[in-house]
Every structure is written in C-alpha cells, then in structure tokens.
Structure 1
Amino acid sequence: MSEFDDIAAQRPANIEEAIPCMQNALRYFHAHNDYRAVFLRAYYIITLNVHAAIHRRGDYTNPIFFDAGWVGSQAGWFASLYFKSLTTFDRDPDSERAWKIAHGMAEKRTSTVLQDLMLGLNAHINYDLAYGTYLNLKQHDDGAEHLLLPRRKFDHDQVNNILVRSMPQVANALTRDYGGGITLLHRTLHGLDIVMSSTGLKYYRERVWWSAVSYLTTTDDEEVNLVHDKLNWESAQLAKLIADESIWSLPARKIGKAIRKERFGAITLETPA
C-alpha cells in the first residue's frame, strides 16, 4: 500500500485517535501541495477545539456537554467517514456526489481556497454528519430510552457553538497557509461573514440531527438507503452551486485563484490543549 492508501484507510474510534490521523494526512497533503489540505486544515482546528471542550482545557474550562465521551466517540465516526471519502472515486459514480465534487476540484486544482473550504464543509455536514451521528446513536443504543435523544441533541447543538467560535481561527490559518484572502474578507465584512456562516451552520446541523433520527427509525437496509439517497442528492445540489464555474462567477474565481498559494511548504500544526 502507498502512503496515501494508508492515510485513506485510517478509521479512528474516537477523537483521541482522530487527531494524529488528521496530522498524518495534513503532512502528506502539504508535502504534495494537495489542495485537499484546505478543508482538512479547518476540520483539524475545529476538532482540536472540540477536544479542548471535552477535556475542559484552554478556553473551555467549564463543562458544556452532558456526555463528553459520547461527543468524543462521535468525532471518531466523523473522521472515519472523512478518510473513507478520500477513496470516493473507487466507488459508484452516483454515490458520495458531494465528496466527488469537492475532492475532484481540489485534485484538478481548479478551485479557490473558499471553494475548497465550503465544498468540504458541505460534504462533511450535509452528507456524512447525519450518518456518523446515526452510527454513534446506534453504538450507544440511544433509541432505547426516549429521554436519551434530547440529551444527545443538546450535546450535538453545543458543537454548533464551538464551530462558530472556531471560524476566526480557521480564517487566519487558511489565509496564512494557503492564501485566498479569507481573513481579508472577514475584516471587510466586519464579522458579518461569521454571523452568516454561523446561521448557515446551525441551520444545516439542525437538518442533520433530524436526518440522523430518520436513520435511527429505519427497519432495513432499503430504508437506510432511502435516507442515504436523499442526503446524497441534497448535498450534491449545494456542491454544484458552490463549485459554480459559470461566466458570472469568473471574476471572483480568477481573483481567488490568483491570491492562493500554489506551494504550501512545511506545515506547523497546533497541538491539543
């Protein structure tokens, strides 16, 4: 197996295992100037902040989760689905369509930094997240007691707040490591981009929760596939909008490509608090 194959085969069981797996992938992507680094860089920072909240470190000294262990397990499922997505072109062309668009543009180097970030977030949240949440709910038998689901929903929503708090840090890291001007956009809009992105994240993560519950109510593989197909179609529609290569988006794309870095160099990674 190649080094890339080893990375794509990583299946962390929890957040403790996910962090070094992400570090391995980021170092590989940087060594090969691979645009897929952009989304993973953002995902890594968010995961570090979730890790800090789980362990009540850094800016998260007060507890925010009912069950921090459940959140840590959930992070393992999500990361495993991300690493699986790296081999999406080995599977059915009609499956995982949002990931195929995201990874395809990154591999062809036709995207801007903002597109790489948004395409990755879309595929990860609108396609993977509901299934990963369902797998975690199922692992913990959370459907057995009706009061367990509201408790899990609370912890799911608490991650929303971590995502919002992570956005300025993500913008700074992506601009420093890859160019693209996301920090400049943030300053120009005086934080309006954070308001808009937080509203969008909360909206889509709310939809994710109910899709995960839909998975939990399925009675056989055929019904599981119904939910899969719904999310596959919906996430692909949004991916197509983000990946817009029409003449109307040409000026923005030209600017975005002109100010992004072609070569990344060695990466300096933050470490868990």
Structure 2
Amino acid sequence: MSATRFPASIATPARTIDEVAHQLTAIIEWSKQNNSRTGYFAALYRKVIIQAKKGIEEGLFDDGPRIERLDVIFANRYLQACYQYQTGQTPTQSWVRAFDETGHWWPIVLQHLLLGMNAHINLDLGIAVAETVPPRELPDLKSDFDKINQILASLVGDVQNELAEIWPMLRLLNRYLGSAETTLINFSMAKARDAAWSFAETLSPLTLEQRQQEIADKDEAIALFSSVISHPGFTASFINKIIRLGERGTTRQHIEILE
C-alpha cells in the first residue's frame, strides 16, 4: 500500500482543545494507514487531552479557560513539529530525534513514548507556560500546572496495561522487578515537569530574542538526552532488544492498543 499524504489540516494551529483532539485523531488515523510509529505518542497524547478537557469541564482547575489556553499552546508545538517533519521541514532538534526513531524497527514502544515525552515535556512545556501568561501572572498558574500531574498519574496504570498487552512478559516482570509505572511517573511527572516549570520561569522575563537563544540552547541539550533514551547502554539495549523481539502485533495494532 502506497503512503498517503500527511493531513494538510494539521498546518492550521488548533484554537480549542476540541480542535487539538481532532488534529491528533487525524495524525493517529494517518499513522495507522501508513504503519507509522508516529501514532504511538499521538495516541497517548490524545488520551491526555481528553482527560484535560474532562478536568476543565468538572472544575478541577482554578481557571479553566487559562488551562485550556495552555493546553492548546502546548499541543500546537507538537502538532506543528509533526507537520513540519512529515512535510520535509525541520522542527526543533528534540523532535527531529524523536521522529527519526519512528522510522527504525528496533526501538520498543516505550522508547518511542519516552522520546515524545522528552521533546514535549522537557522542551515544549516550559515554552508553552511562558507564552500562556505574562511574567507577573506566572505564579498564579503554578497550582493548575501541578494539577495536570494528577491527570497524567491517572493514565499511567492504563499505559502500563497497554504495554503489557503489546509485550505480555511485562506483566510477569512487573511482579519481580517493579512496575513500569514507576519509570513513567519519575520521567514525565516528577523530574521533567519540575524542570519544565523552572524553564518557564527562566523564559518568562526574557525578551523575544533572549528567549529564542535560551530555547535553542535547551533544545540542543534535550536532543542530546534523546540519545540516552534511544541508546541507553549495553545492558539496557540488550534488554530492549529482547522486549522488541517479543512485542506482539503490527504497528497499526500497537496504535490501536494505545488508543
């Protein structure tokens, strides 16, 4: 089957959280049609967006419209990066590293998810926070920012079960070696989101030119860290190869499980 063109609709920035979900769906469907591992992170991300919308509707946040604005600005950085990469343009180095790996067979599903989190949380999140509110309002956003962690934490167990469905041996190993949940929590919620907030505090008072330089420096560092995820050392790489050989199903089936 020949590859289908990447959805042109992604070129237009989303304006609402519903539009974000719609564009993520378009990426997921394109990924399934083209057997692209790009759909792994997009499928996980859409669940986060849906839960964030639910949290807004249920009054979880102090300022629902403000957190939706943050979610949309944040998501548009991923959507734009994805569109740029798939249409021959060049997004940030961090996303180039993540998207490049989607064309390789050996990375396991968890590595693809972590590469997406690395680019999106370690780089994009701080930028999005700084763009959401002026410097004087940044402290007011911290409470709602922290509440997003609750949403992510609620999804970790689901992701663990989905990874175990792709690689059944994970259920057995979790009993003896500890849960994959711990890895995801430590990576995406504790260290990464704390660092993202610190990055936002750094960016917030800067001029546009100063921000661009700070972002370029940060992007270079995060891109380098992606190599640790892709090539984590001999022992971890050996284990990953065993996992990869045991992962069941096609790329399309993996995406459908993660949805």
Q: Same fold (TM over 0.5)?
A: yes
**Aligned residue for 1:114?**
110
TM normalised by structure 1 equals 0.81
1:210 to 178, 188, 198: 198
2:36 to 34, 37, 44: 34
Q: Which has the higher helix share?
A: 2
Shift of 1:252: 1.6
1:251 to 216, 238, 245: 238
What is the rounded CA distance, in whole Å, between the counterparts of 1:13 and 1:224 in structure 2?
23
Say whether 1:47 aligns with 2:36. Answer: no
Structure 2 CA distance for partners of 1:160 and 1:108, relative to 1, 3 Å: same
Shift of 1:103: 0.6
What is the rounded CA distance, in whole Å, between the counterparts of 2:145 and 2:181 in structure 1?
20
Give RMSD over aligned pairs: 2.7
Shift of 1:44: 1.1
Equivalent pairs, count: 251
What is the rounded CA distance, in whole Å, between the counterparts of 1:39 and 1:182 in structure 2?
22
2:158 to 162, 169, 172: 169
Alignment partner of 1:107: what SS? Answer: coil
1:150 to 133, 139, 146: 139
Shift of 1:193: 3.5
Output one character per residue of 1:85-143: Cα deviation in whole Å (capped at 9) or x when no partner. Answer: 12247445xx6222111110112333110110110111110111111222222xxxx33
Structure 2 CA distance for partners of 1:36 and 1:161, relative to 1, 3 Å: same
Structure 2 CA distance for partners of 1:226 and 1:40, relative to 1, 3 Å: same
Check the 8 A contact 1:114/1:180 in 2, yes or no.
no
What is the rounded CA distance, in whole Å, between the counterparts of 2:169 and 2:145 in structure 1?
27
Check the 8 A contact 2:40/2:109 in 1, yes or no.
yes
TM normalised by structure 2 equals 0.85
**Aligned residue for 1:101?**
97
1:12 to 11, 14, 17: 14
Q: Which amino acid aligns with 2:152?
A: L
Shift of 1:251: 2.3
What is the rounded CA distance, in whole Å, between the counterparts of 1:183 and 1:111 in structure 2?
16
- Residue identity (%): 20
Output one character per residue of 1:51-90: Cα deviation in whole Å (capped at 9) or x when no partner. Answer: 111111xxxxxx3211011111111112211111122474
**Aligned residue for 1:59?**
none
Structure 2 CA distance for partners of 1:35 and 1:181, relative to 1, 3 Å: farther
Alignment partner of 1:17: what SS? Answer: helix
Task: Write out the 4+ residue segments of structure 1 that deviate beyond 6 Å after TM superposition.
Answer: none
Shift of 1:186: 7.8
